[in-house]
Amino acid sequence: MSESTVDPVEATPFAVRDCALISLATGLKAQNLREFSDILQRVPLESIEHHLWGRLLQPRFDEPEYNNDFASWAYHGLHDKTLAERLSMVVPTDFADQEALRQELVEVLEERLDQCEMVPWAKKDQQFHFLRSQIVVFDSGLRFSRPVDLIPYLAHLSTGSVYYHFIDARNRTTDRCDDFSAWLAGCGPAYQPLRERLCGVDPYFSSLQNLRQIVSALFQSFFEEAAQ
């Protein structure tokens, strides 16, 4: 492996960052699908981001039937399984930007409204409350020059770091993937298999604690295989 890797001195060290998130009410709430679609068209983009990703850093049950808050409400609040299934398959990284993502979500909602004889509605205690979040990003101070050096540390990443490097990164990186694989791209072709494995992880069905285990295990197994 050493022949095809970049000299650690030449590679930019991996800077571990961390983040924390706090939820805020937007004051917007929907009790039926018509209201929901109308609000979604004007809600701040950061609210959409919160309900698709930010929820991972919030207290929540970690065995969801659906992988975002919109789909979850469609099922549990509106009891519309068809809509829940469609919303859960809107993949954020398929869209060039968040405005395009919003338009696709609205398209799914409007299509469903066209199909319904009556507007699906929720009970008053099952309204959808649109939230947004404030996120604080900070530098942990940790730097790693070689990928192998990350191994002992990955299992102890804070959930904030997991979120920043594995979820938030999908909005920041060229490949719409995670920071680890973006960094590995600069470390030489030998790390391509590890990059592919990391990019193959579906981050939307796991808690951040589970994601940490998965990433740690991928690094571990990659280097064990390389050693053999």
Partner 1 sequence: MSCTETNGSLLLDRYAEVTGREVIHHLQQLAAPLKGAKVVHVNSTREGGGVAEILQKLIPLKRALGIDASWEVIQGSPTFYECTKGFHNGLQGMRSPILKQLLAEYEKVNAENAEELRSTLEEADFVVIHDPQPAPLLSHCPERRGRWLWRCHIDASHPYRPVWKYLRQWVIPYDASIFSIPQFAQALPHPQYIVAPSIDPLSEKNRDLPLEELHTVRERFKLDPDLPMMLQVSRYDRFKDPLGVVQACQLAGKLTPLQLVLAGGGATDDPEGEAVLEEVRQAAAGDSRIQVLLLPADAHHTINALQRTADIVLQKSIREGFGLTVAEAMWKGKPVIGGDTGGIRLQVFDHYTGFLVRTPEGAALRIRYLLHRRELLKEMGRRAQRFVGENFLITRHLREYLTMLLGLQSGTQGRMELGL
Output 60 or 143, the one with its CB closest to partner 1.
Answer: 60
Rank residues 1 and 22 by Cβ distance to partner 1 and give the closer one: 22
How near is the Cβ of 228 to partner 1 at its closest, in Å? 30
# of chain residues touching partner 1 (CB under 8 A): 35
Q: Is 38 in the site for partner 1 (CB under 8 A)?
A: no
Q: Residue 69 or residue 80: which is nearer to partner 1 going by CB? A: 69
Quick check: 80 binds partner 1 (CB under 8 A)? no
Task: Identify which of residues 5 and 98 has a Cβ nearer to partner 1 in the complex.
Answer: 98
**C-alpha neighbours within 13 Å on the C-beta side of residue 84:** 16
Per CB under 8 A, which of residues 130..169 are in contact with partner 1? 131-140, 156-158, 160
CB atoms within 10 A of CB 3: 6
Q: Is residue 99 near partner 1 by the rule CB under 8 A?
A: no
CA distances from 72 to 64, 106, 156, 194 (A): 8, 16, 30, 33
Q: What are phi and psi of 152, to 5 degrees?
A: -65, -20
Main-chain phi, psi angles of 24, to 5 degrees: -130, 145
Phi, psi of 160, deg, nearest 5: -65, -40
The first and second tokens of residue 220, run together, are 């571990």
Which residue in 85, 111, 129, 175 binds partner 1 (CB under 8 A)? 129
Q: Does 18 bind partner 1 (CB under 8 A)?
A: yes
Q: How far is the CB of 66 from partner 1 (least distance, A)?
A: 14
Binding-site string for partner 1 from residue 44 to residue 73, where x marks contact by CB under 8 A and - marks none: x-x------------xxxxx----------
Our CB check for partner 1 shows the closer of 131 and 215 to be 131
Q: Is 17 in the site for partner 1 (CB under 8 A)?
A: yes
Q: Which sign, positive or negative, has the C-alpha torsion 147, 205, 110, 37?
A: negative
Contact between 125 and partner 1 by CB under 8 A: the answer reads yes
Query: Are 41 and 91 spatial neighbours (Cβ–Cβ below 8 Å)?
Result: no
Q: Which residues contact 195 (CB under 8 A, 6 or more apart)?
A: 181, 184, 185
- Compute CA 143 distance to the chain's CA centroid, rounded to the nearest angstrom: 24
For partner 1, give the closer residue by CB, 195 or 208: 208
Positive or negative CA dihedral for 103, 106, 112, 115? negative
Tell me if 123 contacts partner 1 by CB under 8 A. no
Interacting residues with partner 1 (CB under 8 A): 17-18, 20-25, 27, 44, 46, 59-63, 125, 127, 129, 131-140, 156-158, 160, 207, 209
